[in-house]
């Protein structure tokens, strides 16, 4: 589910929605709460209580009270609340135009190319200055003042400046390369995300492309249609899980993005001329 659409439907009273920025408070009293989200805009998440684990393409990331993280747009993430404590966080979503504007105003210059080591999630510890700024943002959700978009964007810039002035400066500058990218490298993006349960339209949007642009570029890189390539990659990964790691066929099917055991078996048989089993080598 699109994370912003989820907030509109379930947490609208605790949120401010503007054209370029969204501010929201999220709480859950449910232990082991799990949800899969598409992150449509860049995100800053500040944890006020509890612990969350993010299951991302780059691996699992644990975020605790007193910590925060930036996440780049286009991520497809499963978040899991763990522990006995209630979970509460403050969320700031900001679109690509707002991102480029804010970062252009910060006192450093980006390189023209993305750093190879940059991840799509940047976690950091909160200090008292950062905490005071985020506390003032929470007040906006109570009174929802006029000119909310301008006020929130100023606070977001303040938070970025405070991170830039902390011990996380170098890592934050490095991470900003990802925040400002117009679109991802399509080959790397698809190799990392083909198992995700997404439509072709969602793959296109998350990669930063129009549907027609996505299909055209995809065909030029992979020499076949997106759906044909995705099914082939999924069934190849499923075969590896079954034969090399001993996965049950049904578990393997779900793990690589198939909705049903039967669909996986049909595609598998068409590609390998046999049904999936441990000895099909």
Q: Of 135, 154, 179, which marks where a domain is finished? A: 179
Q: Report whether pLDDT(279) > 80.
A: no
CATH number at residue 154: 2.60.120.810
Domain presence at residue 277: no
Q: Which residue has the higher pLDDT, 176 or 124?
A: 124
pLDDT value, residue 110 = 67
pLDDT bracket for residue 75 (50, 70, 90):
confident
Domain presence at residue 136: yes
Q: Of 117, 149, 179, which marks where a domain is finished? A: 179
CATH number at residue 229: 1.10.10.60
Domain presence at residue 21: yes
Question: What is the number of other CB atoms lying within 10 angstroms of the CB of residue 132?
Answer: 12
Residue with tokens 């190879």: 116
Digit-coded pLDDT (tens) for 21-49: 999 999 887 777 788 888 888 999 999 99
Domain presence at residue 281: no
pLDDT value, residue 111 = 63
> What does each C-alpha distance from 224 to 173, 194, 204, 255 come to in angstroms?
38, 14, 16, 24
Q: How many residues does the chain have?
A: 281
Domain presence at residue 244: yes
- Give the pLDDT mean for 108-115: 62
Number of structural domains the chain divides into = 2
Q: What range does the domain containing 222 cover?
A: 186-272
The DSSP string of 59-108 is EEEEEETTEEEEE-TT-EEEEEEESSS-EEEEEEEE-HHHHHHHHHTSSS
pLDDT value, residue 88 = 95
Q: 197 and 158 share a domain? A: no
Q: 128 and 7 share a domain? A: yes
Residue 92 contacts residue 140 (beta carbons within 8 Å) = no
Which of 68-72, 84-88, 117-121, 198-202 has the least mean pLDDT? 117-121
Of 87, 39, 71, 68, nearest to 159 by C-alpha is 68
Digit-coded pLDDT (tens) for 138-189: 999 998 999 988 999 999 999 999 999 999 999 999 888 878 776 667 887 8
Digit-coded pLDDT (tens) for 187-212: 878 888 898 888 999 899 888 888 99
Of 255, 208, 56, 48, nearest to 264 by C-alpha is 255
Digit-coded pLDDT (tens) for 235-258: 999 998 998 888 999 999 999 999
Residue with tokens 């859950």: 28
Domain presence at residue 278: no
Q: 250 and 148 share a domain? A: no
Strand positions, DSSP E, the chain? 15-17, 21-28, 34-38, 42-49, 51-56, 59-64, 67-71, 76-82, 87-94, 121-125
């Amino acid at each position: 589910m699109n994370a912003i659409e989820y907030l509109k439907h379930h947490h609208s009273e605790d949120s401010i929605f503007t054209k370029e920025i969204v501010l929201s408070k999220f709480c859950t009293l449910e232990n082991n709460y799990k949800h899969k989200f598409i992150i449509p805009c860049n995100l800053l998440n500040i944890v006020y209580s509890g612990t969350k684990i993010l299951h991302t393409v780059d691996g699992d990331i644990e975020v605790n009270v007193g910590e925060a993280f930036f996440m780049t747009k286009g991520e497809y993430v499963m978040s899991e609340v763990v522990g006995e404590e209630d979970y509460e966080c403050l969320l700031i979503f900001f679109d690509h135009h707002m991102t480029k504007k804010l970062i252009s105003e910060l006192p450093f210059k980006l390189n023209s190319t993305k750093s190879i080591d940059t991840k799509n999630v940047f976690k950091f510890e909160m200090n008292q200055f950062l905490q005071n700024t985020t506390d003032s943002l929470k007040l906006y959700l109570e009174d929802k003042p006029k000119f909310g978009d301008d006020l929130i964007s100023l606070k977001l810039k303040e938070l970025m400046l405070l991170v830039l002035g902390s011990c996380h400066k170098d890592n934050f500058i490095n991470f900003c390369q990802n925040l400002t990218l117009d679109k991802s490298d399509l080959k790397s993006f698809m190799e990392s995300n083909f198992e995700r349960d997404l439509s072709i339209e969602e793959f296109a949007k998350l990669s930063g492309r129009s549907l027609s642009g996505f299909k055209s570029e995809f065909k030029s890189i992979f020499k076949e249609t997106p759906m044909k390539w995705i099914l082939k990659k999924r069934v190849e990964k499923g075969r590896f899980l079954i034969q090399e790691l001993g996965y049950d066929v049904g578990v393997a099917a779900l793990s690589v993005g198939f909705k049903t055991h039967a669909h996986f078996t049909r595609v598998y048989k068409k590609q390998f001329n046999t049904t999936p089993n441990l000895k099909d080598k």
